[in-house]
């Protein structure tokens, strides 16, 4: 009898966890945080260039004088 009560209790808790009630933790609003290195590149009148190298994505900042610098390297030069 105790085993059946325990199974019923666990089942009930699982069902309650699948509730459709949208509580205070549910939000339809999304915020995004800009990449500071990308933002800095744009502020320096550069533009972004993202390429695939060695099976990974790498972003570069193309500066107004046509210098091509890895995005985070450019950011860390002055910050």
Give 19 or 14, the one with higher predicted confidence.
Answer: 14
pLDDT at residue 53, rounded to an integer: 84
Model confidence at 63, pLDDT cuts 50, 70, 90, reads very high
Q: Is pLDDT of 62 > 70?
A: yes
pLDDT at residue 26, rounded to an integer: 59
Query: From CA 38, how far away is CA 60, in angstroms rounded?
Result: 9
3-state secondary structure of 76: helix
pLDDT at residue 43, rounded to an integer: 95
Number of C-beta neighbours around residue 77 at 10 A: 9
Q: Is pLDDT of 16 > 70?
A: no
Cα 23 versus chain centre, distance? 24
| Strand-pair partners of 47 | 62
pLDDT at residue 17, rounded to an integer: 65
């Amino acid at each position: 009898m105790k085993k059946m009560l325990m199974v019923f209790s666990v089942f009930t808790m699982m069902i309650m966890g699948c509730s459709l009630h949208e509580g205070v933790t549910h939000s339809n609003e999304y915020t995004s945080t800009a990449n500071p290195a990308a933002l800095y590149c744009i502020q320096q009148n550069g533009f972004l260039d993202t390429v695939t190298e060695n099976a990974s994505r790498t972003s570069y900042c193309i500066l107004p004088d046509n210098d091509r610098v890895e995005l985070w390297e450019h950011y860390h030069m002055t910050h």
